Structure 1
Amino acid sequence: MNTVLHEILEWLYAIVIALAIAMVIHIFFLQPTRVSGESMVPTLHNGEYLIISKMGHIMGDVPNYGDIVIIDSRVGYPRTWKDDVAEPMDNYLALFSSRFQTKNVWVKRVIGRPGDTLAFHDGKVWRNGEALDEPYINEPMTYSRKGEVQVPEGYVFCMGDNRNHSSDSRFIGPVPVDHVLGKVIW
């Protein structure tokens, strides 16, 4: 009987250690997620699974132009380390349940970095006075806006590739860099 109890305790110990390692990897390095919606068509489609690198988020790096990132769309919400620890459980539930989705986490493309001036007219995005060449968008953009948007220091401007069917920085404003939760790597 003592041998059986010892064997069970060894298994429990191994399981607890494996779960702890998996959580550390998920919180600080890699995170699986699933696309919900059509805002990134034709690049990404509803239901596709993605792997996100979290290193840029942990290091506070500003993503590059064209990077596909996941963002916390609650731009007025002050994020803390508790959010980074709690979100993995929410994300796992979203991966395996069509009824549970994290509505505040969006997949978008980085269009503007700190200090950039953006304009939207003639079916195009203009960055610092030059029209962007965007072969990845679904169709020409119908959105236009008078004036320009200045991307503040510590923020990025993100848009979906399906410009005519995307909620993004045009509506929520620039995204704080600490709300860029990771970069799509696969």
Structure 2
Amino acid sequence: MVRNCIKEINQSIKALLSIRAFRVFITAFSIIVFFISFTSFKGVTASNEMYPTFNKGEKLIAMRSNSYTYGDIVTYKSPLDTSDAYIIRRVIGLPGDTIYFHDGTLYINGAATDEEYVYYDPSKEGYVEGIIYTLEDNQYFLAGDNRNYSVDSRVCGGIDSSVIFGKIVFSTSRFFHFR
């Protein structure tokens, strides 16, 4: 009889623990979903303007951020686009920088930079050169990696920090390719 009582108590404790574990799991899951829905962006690259880094149709996830540096890949709302579409570009200029291009080379504050991620075909048209851009305190210079086909800050100038959503953190198309 005592054994049956102990057995019933053990079963009751196990049932309570499994209910409690389930509640904790549901609560944690809900918090994570809520957090991600307000701090992340899920999108798809609509063109090959970020080739070779990302291909057209690649699924990306960005996290909100207020701090960016050279080389970060960000998503933002274009000042030239009236749709709700977000655009993916790389940060190549920070507030206060002076940017220009010459013979396919990026110059930041007068110094040539090495951009190993850039796809540039000098035989093709569509590459803007000869314009000097000076960024204001709240502006970033954003450019696509496929420079011949990218519409970016070379066309519309510095991008205000208020329209930048955040940094791309990984690509689901590359099986959780973390950046």
TM-score, with structure 2 as normaliser? 0.70
| 1:64 partnered with 2:69 | yes
Residue matched to 2:37: 26
| Equivalent position of 2:47 in the other structure | 37
1:51 aligns with 2:74: no
Where structure 1 has 5 or more consecutive residues not aligned to the other structure, the ranges are 1-13, 78-101
1:70 positional shift: 0.4
Sequence identity percentage: 34
- 1:25 aligned partner, one-letter code: I
C-alpha contact (below 8 Å) 1:62/1:177 kept by paired residues: no
Aligned-residue offset at 1:122: 1.3
What are the Cα deviations for residues 46-96 of structure 1, in whole angstroms up to 9, with x where unaligned? Answer: 111111111x1xxxx23110000001102698xxxxxxxxxxxxxxxxxxx
In 2: Cα distance, 1:70 partner to 1:34 partner: 11
Between structures 1 and 2, the one with greater helix share: 1
Rg bigger for which structure?
2
Number of aligned residues? 141
What TM-score results when the alignment is normalised by the length of structure 1? 0.67
Amino acid at match of 2:117: Y
* Structure 1 residue aligned with 2:110: 129
Structure 1 Cα separation of the partners of residues 73 and 152 of structure 2:
13
- Point out which structure has higher relative CO (alpha carbons under 8 A, 6+ apart): 1
Q: Deviations 1:15-64 (Å, cap 9, x if unpaired)?
A: xx94x963542122x2221111000000001111111111x1xxxx2311
* Root mean square deviation of aligned Cα: 2.5
Structure 2 unaligned runs (5+)?
1-25, 171-179
Measure the CA separation in 2 of the matches of 1:126 and 1:140. 18
Conserved in 2, the CA contact under 8 Å of 1:52 and 1:182? yes
